[in-house]
Amino acid sequence: MPYRRTLRRAVGCTGIGLHSGKPVRLELKPAPAEHGIRFLHGTPSVPALYAAQAGYEIVTAAGVDAIRAKSMRQVQLLVDLARERGFRPHAPERPEQRGGMVILDVPHAQAVTRELLRREVIVDFRPGAGIRFSPHFYTTDDEIRRAMEETRQILDSGAYRAPHTEFSCPIEGRCGEPSDAPASVSIPASRCVSS
């Protein structure tokens, strides 16, 4: 007769929340029979692994150390520009403790996010935390400056109050309408580490 295993007792860990920047605790508790999270691993998706190969090649060409250095510099730029515009970043103070994104505490964050997306500034709203800005290794410093300028302008002008109208979001499925954006974008490796 087959049987399922579960945890004998609760296990957990603590850390800093990825989106809130606040202390959090993750706890997994024993589950009743036939319920709960099952730690299974099936056959890897071979087509997905093959498709990911191009990403590995781009990262290898750009260089992991160069990508991290650019990320640290651009996240600091984002934090500095946000503070200049009156937004509080949820991020560790020490750059070496930061990842590649910052949550900004922005008034009317959900409505501002909707307007930023309408203006093709790709961000993500995180309830209870703010707006997530995630520069990538192909993001330019000017794009970061534009994102901060647009965010401030949306608040100052009251554009976030505009009635929501349907539009085609640049990210498939994110805003309710299919995107006309290309399915893939070619990024020259030279752009990956320059500003």
- pTM, two decimals, is 0.64
Residue 112 lies in a domain: yes
Residue 24 lies in a domain: no
Task: State how many domains the chain has.
Answer: 1
Instruction: State the DSSP H helix or E strand holding residue 9, giving kind and residue range, or none if neither.
Output: none
Residue 172 lies in a domain: yes
Locus of tokens 């781009």: 58
Q: Which tens digit of pLDDT belongs to each residue from 127-159?
A: 889 999 999 989 999 999 999 999 999 999 999
Angle at 13 between CA 76 and CA 135, to 5 degrees: 20
Domain of 152 in residue numbering reads as 63-179+186-192
For position 71, which CATH number holds? Answer: 3.90.1150.10
Residue 148 lies in a domain: yes
Q: Which tens digit of pLDDT belongs to each residue from 160-192?
A: 998 765 544 444 444 433 334 333 333 444 444
Residue 166 lies in a domain: yes
Are 148 and 112 in contact, with CB atoms under 8 Å apart? Answer: no
Contacts of 172 (CB under 8 A, 6+ apart): 178, 179, 181
Mean pLDDT of the chain: 80
